[in-house]
Structure 1
Amino acid sequence: MNSDIIVADFRKNNEEILTDFDKDSFCESWTENEMWNLEFKVTLTNKNSHCYSILDYESSVFYKGQEFIVKQLSHDAEGRTLSKNVNAPHIYYTCQDGWQENEISGNYTLAQCLTHIFKSDSRGFTWEIIDPENMLEKVQQENFGNKNYLTLIDQLLDDYGVVVIPDNKHLVFKPREIYGERTEDFIRYRYNTDEVSFDIDTLSLKTKIKGYGKVDSNGNNYFSPITYTSPEAEKWGIRWQESISDERYTVAGNMQRRLKLELQDFPATTGSVSLKKEYDCEKGDYVLFIYEPLNIDYDVQIVAYKKYPFSLKVTEITLSNNKKSIVSIMAQLAKAMKGAK
């Protein structure tokens, strides 16, 4: 894919290839369901004067086929040398400028909720749901609406357990179970990393869980309580996780899938890594994590990264197999890194 960076003004009347920018400063940052943006610094020269003037608030930056919108811009001056520091979030985040005033309440699918959000949208957003095994259940919504699009989408990410992968203004939603690719890459603690900070937590390690579904008006269960025991019980023994009781479930097989998803049957692992060997990681990739002191090796998923494509800096990645929300993961990691200082 063409790695040229294109800058366009707000009206898209002028476009220029970005030149003479600080290559070491250019960084692509992504955090699952939370953030995707570009940061870089550009200094005014004779070669880039036109491009420099185009680069302003609300101008567009095109990188690897994706559009980012300049939202933060600072100006620096050292003598006659002028420069700009740019922060440009992905265009997906401009959906916060749309507002769905109407509210709905009831038992709805993800598709019905997304249709409600965007039914009067004039900003050009589209969406699709990839759910080949019909994993997504209806969810009881109450007064869903009267908020901006982004806030409503964030609510759906939690309610339905999905991840959103923006492709410009086209939003792809996937159940967390099928999100991400398995790779042949591995992380071995204190072997193939220059900098690593890992938090391994066995307190939340559980191997058995029970789930209860809907009860009808006569007090009868739609199905008998489901108990799921992880194969990891052979290694760690029986450790009960708090039961799930959810009126949305009327089919035993769907509850079985939910239990497998919810059960934290590996030590919860969150880590920040700078690799010696660079590789082009993708959002949600799984890599093998090996930690000899606990004699464990299992897949952990990339939940955040920082890439420096125009410099010698290696990619920084955040990995986790923790089945908490990404906000909890990042808070846990920050706490662990602070305690290690």
Structure 2
Amino acid sequence: MAILAVKDISGIAEPLPGFYVTRSNGVEGEKTLNVTGYKTEINQHGYKLVKNENILIYKDEEYVIKTHKEKTFKNGVGVEVTALHRIFDDLINYRVYEEKSGTLRINAMLDFALKGTGYTYEVDNTDLPTSVEVQNFGWDNSLALLRSILEKFGAEFDYVGKHIYIAKKIGSKKDEPFLRYKYNVSEPEKEIDTSSFATYIRGYGKQNEDGTYVVQAEYTSPLAAIYGIKHAEPVKDERFTDKASLLTEMKSRLGDSLDISLTFTAVELASMGFTDVRKGDYLWCIIEPFDINVQLRVLTIEDYSNDKKPPVFTFGAVTKKASDLIADFDTTKKTVDKVIDPSTGTIKTSAINTSGLALKSDLDAHVKNTDIHVTLAQKLTWDSKEDGGAVAELEKRLTHITWEAAALNNSWTQYSDARGTSVVQFGKDMVGTVVLRGVVANGTIGTSTPIYTLPIEYRPTYPYYFCGSAGPGYIFTGVVKTNGDVCVESSTNPTPNAFIAINTQFKI
């Protein structure tokens, strides 16, 4: 049993034997305690100190009591409290009475925001912007300024005591083992939630002195063809000065996405082969019936002072556009409104382990429910040319690709022969499939000498490896890196760069 103690504002500390603690630790930086206990003869002195604004000490960390509820029970009097990690209390109660403007690096902004608080920091600059432009940054509490810095740089934070860690993403990516349907995840079921559903969004980047914008954009989801225009909260962000980056941010905020969530205890994860799983870590999840093959992230960890009660890990991720789901299921492809229940929310997949807490009957009941699925008569009607025009147009838009010419680098040139020219191009359909095509020659082989570089909205989240033809009887291995570089790693052709046919596709 982990030891819990309480300390008052004068520094007097007392243990709290018999009290039970639930600690929640999430990737957004929140770290809280929920504590319950009864007053007994051995904890009566500490019990008197369990009051608002006093400090709970648990596993060498301090938490400030923010809510306090005292109750009477058969066994006497008891208390329930919630406490917030003291970093939030310290930083929200320290204020900066000056401001800065200009182009600033993250370290300069952190020095400015945390000066005098007693908190230190370290930054992993991998994938973070070098600097951002700010106007009138300051004149606020240190917590608000820290949150502003994280938002401007697109970063996350964690902390131990009074030391803050900042990075693009907290945690690591694990390639093995993985969560897999019928292997260690059973009875998955789908739920659909449209409470925050939207089909249209606008974005505004950096603003000029005259009030106009350097860049602005709008995006309409393919689902607007079925549901009409439903406006999302617009994006207004001074960081963006190019349309491609702004569009990427807008699409990430539009609420037409799938949320997958899985919950496991530490014991269950250990039985699946997972050890040392931490907050922010990514694990692969494969659920073939739902065409799900993504890395899920540990969003929260809940642990307990009771050593016999294992910690609980909640995984989640935004995986792919709702339009992908519609295209994947024949029975719902033509009638999305017959599948989505307006009283529920974003698409989530909940799954349990083989101990069987979920019922397969729930999934069966959903599949067999004729009230929410397409009937044969409806399918025949909507498949007809006369009545299926809108749906056919939607399907056409979902698969349409606008091709872009690739700007070749590192001596690579367009290949042509007597058969003609396979132009080097790239494109993307409306459901996020990036397609590369064309033949090149004469360039420099290697992962540091890309053939060309994809714009930001075409880049994979993780390195994408592929193979292709290097001429009759020969092959090459290639990679599309997360920075957009399309590279040839090696070729079996005696003249390695004589013929490289890049014909591949991947999801982003």
TM-score (norm 1): 0.67
CA distance change for structure 1 residues 321 and 105 in 2, over 3 Å: closer, same or farther? Answer: same
1:338/1:321 CA distance change after superposition, 3 Å:
closer
* Larger Rg, first or second structure (1 or 2): 2
Residue identity matched to 1:175: K
DSSP 3-state at the match of 2:97? strand
**What SS does structure 2 have at the residue aligned with 1:150?**
helix
Shift, 1:92, TM fit: 1.3
Cα deviations by residue, 1:208-250 (Å, 9 ceiling, x for unpaired): xxxxxxxxxxxxxxxxxxxxxxxxxxxxxxxxxxxxx987899
- Structure 2: unaligned runs, 5 residues or longer: 194-236, 271-275, 321-343, 351-361, 363-508
Q: Is the 8 A contact 1:186 1:289 kept in 2?
A: yes
| 1:335 partner SS | coil
TM-superposed deviation, 1:288: 1.5
2:3 is aligned to 4
Q: How does 1:208-227 map to 2 (within 5 A)?
A: none
Q: 1:143 to 1:261 in 2, by over 3 A?
A: closer
Tell me the residue number matched to 1:271.
261
| SS of match in other structure, 2:11 | coil
Is the aligned partner of 1:53 residue 2:48?
A: yes
One of 22, 27, 35 as aligned partner of 1:27: 22
**SS at 1:101 equivalent:** coil
- What does 1:299-310 align with in structure 2 at a 5 Å threshold? 299-310=295-306
1:126 aligns with 2:131: no
Deviation at 1:295, TM superposition (A): 3.9
Residues 242-285 of structure 1: CA deviation (Å, up to 9, x unaligned):
xxx987899xxxx99x9999997xx8643142447155642111
Aligned partner of 2:345: which letter? K
Residue by residue, what CA displacement relative to the aligned partner does 1:42-81 show, whole Å, maximum 9, x if unpaired? 1101111112122222222222222211111111123671
Give the Cα–Cα distance (whole angstroms) in 1 for the partners of residues 187 and 24 of structure 2: 18
Q: Go from structure 1 to structure 2 and tell me whether the alpha carbon gap of 1:198 and 1:44 turns closer, same or farther (over 3 Å shift).
A: farther
Q: Counterpart of 1:319?
A: 316
Alpha-carbon deviation of 1:196?
6.8
CA separation of 1:141 and 1:12: change in aligned 2, threshold 3 A:
same
- How far residue 173 of structure 1 moved from its aligned partner, in angstroms, is 0.9
Mark the CA change 1:54 to 1:148 in structure 2 (over 3 Å): closer, same or farther. Answer: same
Structure-2 separation of matches of 1:62 and 1:91: 10
Tell me how far 1:101 sits from its aligned partner.
2.0
1:160 aligns with 2:159: no
8 Å CA contact retained: 1:300, 1:320: yes
Name structure 1 gaps, 5 residues minimum. 202-244, 324-333
Question: Identity percentage over the alignment?
Answer: 23
1:101 is the counterpart of 2:100: no
CA-atom RMSD in angstroms: 4.0
Q: How far off its partner does 1:113 sit?
A: 0.9
Q: Indicate the residue corresponding to 2:367 in structure 1.
A: none
Match status 1:91 vs 2:86 = yes
For the residue of structure 2 that corresponds to 1:70, the secondary structure is strand
Match of 1:335 among 345, 357, 360: 345
The letter of the residue matching 2:14 is E
| Alignment counterpart, residue 167 of structure 2, candidates 170, 174, 182 | 174
What's the secondary structure of 1:3's corresponding residue?
coil
Letter in 2 for 1:293: P
CA shift for structure 1 position 111? 0.9
TM-score by length of 2: 0.46
* Distance in 1 between residues matched to 2:148 and 2:191, nearest whole Å: 28
Task: Answer yes or no: is the 8 Å Cα contact 2:92–2:143 preserved in 1.
Answer: yes
Matched AA of 2:173: R
Between the aligned partners of 2:247 and 2:58, the Cα distance in structure 1 is 40
Q: Is the 8 A contact 1:304 1:318 kept in 2?
A: yes
TM-superposed CA distance for 1:30, in Å, is 2.3
Residue among 106, 109, 117 paired with 1:110: 106
Alpha-carbon distance between aligned partners in 2 of 1:81 and 1:261, rounded to the nearest angstrom: 55
C-alpha offsets along residues 186-215 of structure 1, whole Å, 9 cap, x if unaligned?
3334764589777799xxxxxxxxxxxxxx
The verdict on how the C-alpha distance between 1:40 and 1:103 changes in structure 2, with shifts beyond 3 A counting, is: same
8 Å CA contact 2:192, 2:346 repeated in 1? no
